[in-house]
Structure 1
Amino acid sequence: MSKTFDLNKILRPHIISLAPYSSARDEYTGHVGIFLDANENPYGSVTEEHYNRYPDPYQAEIKQKLAPLKNVSIDRIYLGNGSDEPIDLLTRATCTPGQDHVIILPPTYGMYEVSANIHDVIIDKVSLTDDYLINVDAVLQAITPKTKIIWICSPNNPTGNVMQPEAIRTILENFDGLVVVDEAYIDFTETPSWTQHLDQYPNLVVLQTFSKAWGLAGLRIGMCFASPELIRILNKIKPPYNISLPAQKELLKGLNESGKKDEMVADILKERDSLCNMLAQLSLVIKVHPTDANFLLVQFEDAKAVMDYLINEAIIVRDRSRVHLCAGCLRITVGTQEENEAVIESLKKYKPENITV
């Protein structure tokens, strides 16, 4: 059980007393009436769809559908412009520029570091082990009185593996700041979500996304689950209308199709196993790392040459060979059966002399 956690101790003092912007939809939340409060165009839109009215700033209808799907209460949900928005807001809410610290565990998702750099926050890097797991002792030793956030990606990007639960639990119980578990790829693993532990750990924050399993990357909507107190802070400092009306409408449709999402996930998992097996049989592949995500981290004898060759074949993968602990590795997203077979057929034909720069 986490020791007593005081959110106010890690918030920047002026955030606590900040008076948020009050939008027209904050002052009146009804849907019926003559709306003359927000300086909108009363005649409609230049498009066939009517987008002349501002969207719900707190996405209440979406949260009502999402809460039972995630088994969390509505007051624990924040929806942002991708997961990048809550990453930014959590940093801004807690970290004083030039003074406070965050801990990241490379190799990991790059936006934690980018957000810290944007806000002039000091970054303490604690490397994962050689098998891409959390070095708990090193993380605990890196914590200082100025450490506000520890970022943990699980399943991890770019390595694909789930972080050991006991390590996350130990960090939660021995750190007075926020522990953020980014679960962008949680739908592709059988490991339970950390959202089930929100009541137990008030310093726990969980990020998820609609971009991967739901196939809604173009809508740019991310989920943040946390204590009601922290959610209120995020709502206080967010942009007034952070998710557009078209995006909200499409997401509401999507939430009615959770069965289709499950079917797509099953197809991706089937193709992931097939792609993994086919890659492992290629002589130019050194290792296919175990994965719980919708991608594979694959080590090649000459990753840059293979990357250049695949680009010439109009097959685009991600070069991670210069990322910490990922030397010689390319990250390959699991595609359709046809796409995966095309990758394998191209790699079977690979010869260094095939590359034209």
Structure 2
Amino acid sequence: MDFNLSYLVRENIKNLSPYTTARHEFTGEASVMLDANENAAGSPVSLDINDFHETLNRYPDPLQIKLKERIGAIKGVPVENIFAGNGSDEAIDVLMRIFCEPGVDNIITLPPTYGMYGVCAAINNIRVKEVPLNAAYQMDIQAIADQVDDYTKLIFICSPNNPTGNSIARQDIEIILNNFDGIVVIDEAYINYARQKTFAQDIAEYPNLVVMQTLSKAWGLAALRLGLAFASKEIISLMNNVKYPYNINEATQQLALHGLKNVMQINNWTKTTIEQREWLENELQPLPMVEEIYPSDANFLLVKMKNAEEVFTFLQTKGIIVRSRTKTKGCEGCLRITVGTAAENKKLIETLKTYNPTV
């Protein structure tokens, strides 16, 4: 028998361009990692296997009630309005599987933006309508309205936006919420660093609103892969019905509970990160290769540079890893630089001062 694997694979999977993380793009040794928007200060918990040895033989709580109670107390959101996922990516995928008919429905994204919206759509065979942000990286409301049709089920708004760093104007988001009869997903992964108020407390006002947050950024728990979604209890019920039964393992639930006790530490780290973001911006500004630094409400800066790819490679040779966004439409010639510790940021600046262009 001749076995033909390609014959069995769905066409949309054959044509899939998978998401590549910062760590996909660099696998060597580095001393300064400013590429993945992690919390450079560290984690509020340390792993102690003795905390779990008596519970690891049992399946975890499939609805993560204790964890959600703690999150709800911090965020001011009732337990029945909280979804916990294996990273925000699970929430993105679940929402598409709930609301979009494969091969029929479509979603709207606002590039440049987080790449997993498009990747999840491609995996689920859902058409993506891209409505680019304007020159100020804000929404074009009329252009979005022009792209909405009877098969548009989801609009994804990343605010603060990745990779640009800016918050999307709140009044524009409210216009979309009030006029679009599908689901509006606001991705607030970086909200802890922003001046703009979260939409998490507005879910009672907007039945079509889903707000996503994460413990991977300000909370310093990226390794746990714990994402959150806040929405009406009807939407959350659907998400719980569709997710895998035990999607959040016991170790993640317990470690997250430990981490969520340290609110003051997280607030202090966040304040320090914002101060370092401002310091980094001031130090980058006068460097000869820097053309523009875009306003940021996140824990990173998008920086337009002369010879950006050459600068990127030069930093790699010095053990400093940032994220190249030069091939991202709307971010041509840009590097995305995570705000590190004071020592890491100082090393970055000192290293950039030694760069000499080859042309």
* TM tier relative to shorter chain: 0.7 to 0.9
Q: Which whole-Å deviations, capped at 9, do the CAs of 1:191-216 have from their partners, x for residues lacking one?
A: 11011211111000000000000000
Which secondary structure state, in structure 2, belongs to the residue aligned with residue 352 of structure 1?
Answer: coil
The aligned residue for residue 286 of structure 1 is 291
Whole-angstrom distance in 2 between the partners of 1:121 and 1:65: 35
The aligned residue for residue 204 of structure 2 is 199
The aligned residue for residue 269 of structure 2 is 264
The aligned residue for residue 58 of structure 2 is 53
Decide whether the 8 Å contact of 2:203 with 2:232 is kept in 1: yes
Whole-angstrom distance in 1 between the partners of 2:138 and 2:311: 27
Matched, 1:250 2:250: no
Higher RCO, Cα 8 Å, sep 6+: 2
Q: How does 1:207-356 map to 2 (within 5 A)?
A: 207-353=212-358
Which secondary structure state, in structure 1, belongs to the residue aligned with residue 163 of structure 2?
Answer: coil
Whole-angstrom distance in 2 between the partners of 1:232 and 1:200: 18
Whole-angstrom distance in 2 between the partners of 1:196 and 1:167: 17
Q: How does 1:145-164 map to 2 (within 5 A)?
A: 145-164=150-169
Q: Which range moved further: 104-113 or 188-197?
A: 188-197
Q: 1:303: Cα distance to partner?
A: 0.5
Whole-angstrom distance in 2 between the partners of 1:339 and 1:94: 43
Unaligned runs of 5+ in 1: 1-44
Whole-angstrom distance in 2 between the partners of 1:239 and 1:246: 17
The aligned residue for residue 84 of structure 2 is 79
The aligned residue for residue 170 of structure 1 is 175
Decide whether the 8 Å contact of 1:107 with 1:323 is kept in 2: yes
Whole-angstrom distance in 2 between the partners of 1:267 and 1:169: 31
The 1:279–1:49 alpha-carbon spacing in structure 2 relative to 1, beyond 3 Å, is farther
Which secondary structure state, in structure 2, belongs to the residue aligned with residue 180 of structure 1?
Answer: strand
Q: 1:353: Cα distance to partner?
A: 4.2
Supply the RMSD in Å over aligned alpha carbons. Answer: 1.3
Where does structure 1 differ by over 3 angstroms across 4 or more consecutive aligned residues? 47-50
Q: 1:352: Cα distance to partner?
A: 2.7
Whole-angstrom distance in 2 between the partners of 1:60 and 1:197: 22
Structure 1 counterpart of 2:278, one-letter code:
D
Which secondary structure state, in structure 2, belongs to the residue aligned with residue 299 of structure 1?
Answer: strand
Q: Which whole-Å deviations, capped at 9, do the CAs of 1:281-320 have from their partners, x for residues lacking one?
A: 1011001111000000000011100001011011000000
Whole-angstrom distance in 2 between the partners of 1:249 and 1:71: 21
Q: 1:50: Cα distance to partner?
A: 4.2
The aligned residue for residue 6 of structure 1 is none
1:93 aligned to which of 95, 98, 103:
98
Q: 1:66: Cα distance to partner?
A: 1.1
The TM-score normalised by the length of structure 1 is 0.85
Q: How many residues in Structure 1 have an aligned counterpart in Structure 2?
A: 309
Whole-angstrom distance in 2 between the partners of 1:262 and 1:168: 26
Which secondary structure state, in structure 2, belongs to the residue aligned with residue 55 of structure 1?
Answer: coil
Whole-angstrom distance in 1 between the partners of 2:90 and 2:114: 14
Q: 1:325: Cα distance to partner?
A: 1.0
Structure 1 counterpart of 2:243, one-letter code:
K
Unaligned runs of 5+ in 2: 1-49
